[in-house]
């Protein structure tokens, strides 16, 4: 019984270390201004704004799609 508990503790600690090493290689996005209020926009009028961001992570940042709300 003691050996099973020791094995579980060792496996748990190994999984924790492996998760840290995986997280270090992930991309991380940072926006200069993450929120922009367009105010009132007339129907069928264009509403344009450029959101400036950068990747502060270690892995490549791949943007596959963008959606507005």
Q: Are 68 and 41 in contact (CB under 8 A)?
A: no
Q: What is the mean pLDDT of the chain?
A: 81
pLDDT value for 46:
85
Mean of pLDDT values over 48-61: 92
pTM: 0.53
Answer yes or no: is pLDDT of 11 > 80.
no
List Cα–Cα distances, 47 to 35, 41, 52, in angstroms.
14, 7, 16
- The residue extents of the domains of the chain are 2-55
Whole-number Å distance between alpha carbons of 32 and 69? 19
Mean of pLDDT values over 29-39: 90
């Amino acid at each position: 019984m003691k050996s099973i508990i020791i094995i579980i503790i060792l496996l748990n600690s190994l999984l924790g270390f492996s998760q840290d090493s995986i997280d270090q290689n992930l991309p991380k996005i940072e926006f200069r201004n993450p929120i922009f209020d367009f105010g009132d926009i007339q129907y069928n009028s264009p509403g344009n704004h450029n959101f400036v961001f950068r990747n502060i992570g270690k892995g490549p940042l791949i943007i596959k799609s963008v959606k507005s709300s």
